[in-house]
Chains A and B, each alone.
Chain A
Amino acid sequence: MNDSPARLPLRTAAAVKLGNLSSTLSQKMGLGAGGMIGGRVALKLDPQALGRLTQGRNVAVVTGTNGKTTSTMMLARAVGALGEVATNHSGANMPDGHVTALSKQPDAPYAVLECDEAYFPAVAGASNPSVAVILNLSRDQLDRVGEVRTIERSLRDAVNKLQNCTIVANCDDVMVTSAAWNAAKVVWVATGTGWHHDSASCPRCGNPIRWQGEHWHCTGCDLARPHPSWITADEAMITPEHRKLELRLTLPGKFNQANAVMAAAAAHAMGVPADEAVRRLRGVSNVSGRYRTIQRNGRSARLLLSKNPAGWSETLTVVKEANHPAVLVINAQEADGRDLSWLWDVPFERLQGRTVIAAGERATDLAVRLTYAEVQHTIVPDPLKAIDQMPQGAVEVIANYTAFRDLNARAAADE
């Protein structure tokens, strides 16, 4: 297990060296965080780089619509119990990001890779993982990623081709269950989280899916909720040995409890005892700036990232606990998805009675949605100015992908 990675062929080693150089140059010249450019150069020079860089390492790949970055960070922390881990931080989750991360830690015997769902077949195929984690699948960026069922189909085909790989799958998600259903080795995890709006009909045969409490089954074929070996309980998890472990996470919300249990189950499959895994992942508190609080002129603003209806729905539940004013920030750049129709799938009605500001490049589209949700609001496109206009005290800031990225960078520059 602890073999050091195989020596790289000359071509890959040279490609990696040039890649690292361009990554450093990119950072030095202020062009970017360098998370991807190095990998892009290396992949151009050696298309097999990903396969060669993972050879001899024990690899886990993490995919799904929501929670990838957090779960990857948790899993990397947990696997750190076994040895050095190479991992791609900051959401650079396509092959060039993987190559960059792996080439920066050429001697790490373990790798935990966050992977965009559309790239999973290619990455899993090239990296021969011992564990693949599939968190959840729901509608996201329909104009870029495509429809959920297409993604499920491609994950299913990829999973069925994997040899000697344990799939860690969320059995409360119909799409994930279908993708992992025929895998040679599966560990089912009950996460208690689910977005049911994309699974009224069976992804395999099309017949209606029937729900009874937490159980579900297809009315036409044998697809049904498998018996889970790991269970997410309230602030705790139940292990396969029926032991209850308190989670005591730093990160808020039910969704992060689900991420933690998925990560613990995956770490366990890689050889980390459950107690040790939980102890380590508990420390994750700030995931690329998410969940951190910034101080501005007497306001303490908590920054939350939500990219799609399932994510927003979860975040609105998290912010419901306290009745703080909320700044909502919406962009619709390429990486966000250009189509904002999804705003109508988010239950903004839950914010009725609160102080709300609509911000971001598409603040007016959001304002229309809030108008019909009968949520009183004002429009202040610049999110930092929006925070300053709130009453002093706690403020929740929820932003989608590029809106969050830009806000986080500006807030960091101010500090």
Chain B
Amino acid sequence: MSESTIQIALVLPDLLGTYGDFGNAVVLEKRMKWRGIKAEIVPINYGQPVPDSCDIYVVGGGEDTAQTLAVKHLREHPGLQRAVTKNAVVLGVCAGIQIFGESFTRADNVTHPGMGLIDSSSHAGGSRAIGEVVAEPADGLFAGPLIGFENHQGRTTLGPAARPLAHVKVGTGNDGSVEGAVQGRIVCTYLHGPVLPRNPALADMLIEWATGTKLAPIDLPAVAAMRAERVRAAS
């Protein structure tokens, strides 16, 4: 049975874990465990090779220097890129959306190559986008609204191969109109909170992609109450 344990790779938490994004991996693990699906979190720290055998990869947000180091590390150890060709599920948050793209340009106007996993490019915006976000998931991907807290300087433009994750109602997201990106089984978002505790339907969508099974809903009153509160506070 051990081969059926879903492995959640927590990618470079020591570099890209500034905003509590560790919570995304915890939510995936617990939501599987509570349904009797075996799951474990595999932390991949800075300096360690990146395995290509995990089922889900979770990448968090980080500071500029950390982000540059993370890209360098992920290029030198291309396990994540190989896993994507094998249909692994990937969640990239904040820095994730920038480093997965074709390129990102910093406030100092220097353009860094991204990992080329999604058809997007990012550049520094005029002002830092900080605050609560409410958005409607695109194409009915999962039950909305998508909610979270954004804190980023970057703005992202999607190319034709990437679809938006959601349409912004309150906040900035990629560019003031759309938020995040979906390409194949890669999902990117600017949202912290972290994003999966805030949005259980998105968490379950990723788990369904990874396990290939349709999940029964879990009733967590605290989550429903928190979501209602946040939507009220944002609007």
Contact = CB atoms under 8 A, between A and B. Distances in A.
Interface of A: 139, 142-143, 147-150, 197-198, 200-201, 203, 206, 208, 338-345, 364-365, 367-372, 374, 379
What 5 A-B pairs come out closest when comparing CB atoms?
A344-B23, A200-B14, A341-B20, A344-B20, A367-B222
B220 A149 contact: no
Interface stretch (B49-57, B102-110, B175-183, B192-200): B192-200
A147 B18 contact: yes
B85 to A, nearest CB: 28
B220 A341 contact: no
Given A364-B229, A367-B222, A368-B222, A341 B15 contact: no
Given A341-B194, A364-B226, A372-B30, A200 B46 contact: yes
B226 A197 contact: no
A201 B20 CA distance: 18
B225 A208 contact: no
A367 B220 CA distance: 10
A331 to B, nearest CB: 13
Given A339-B192, A344-B20, A368 B46 contact: no
Contacts of A139: 18
B190 interface: no
B21 A201 contact: no
Contacts of B131: 338
A interface SS class: helix
A21 B201 CA distance: 57
A341 B222 contact: no
A201 B15 contact: yes
Counting contact residues on chain B (CB < 8 A from A), the size range is 35 or more
A148 B22 CA distance: 18
B209 interface: no
B27 interface: yes
Given A341-B194, A368-B197, A197 B19 contact: no
B47 interface: yes
A148 B226 CA distance: 29
Interface string B220-235: 1011011001000000
26 contacts: A143-B149, A143-B151, A147-B18, A149-B63, A149-B66, A150-B63, A200-B45, A206-B65, A208-B47, A338-B130, A339-B19, A339-B193, A340-B149, A341-B193, A343-B20, A344-B22, A344-B26, A344-B194, A344-B197, A367-B225, A368-B220, A368-B222, A368-B223, A369-B23, A369-B197, A372-B26
Given A201-B66, A364-B229, A372 B23 contact: yes
A371 B220 contact: yes
B17 interface: yes
Given A147-B18, A197-B14, A364-B226, A372 B65 contact: no
B215 interface: no
A206 B132 CA distance: 31
B161 interface: no
Nearest to A374: B30
A372 B231 CA distance: 21
A20 B63 CA distance: 42
Contacts of B151: 142-143, 339
B226 A367 contact: yes
A143 to B, nearest CB: 5
Contact of B149 (A200, A338, A371, A372): A338
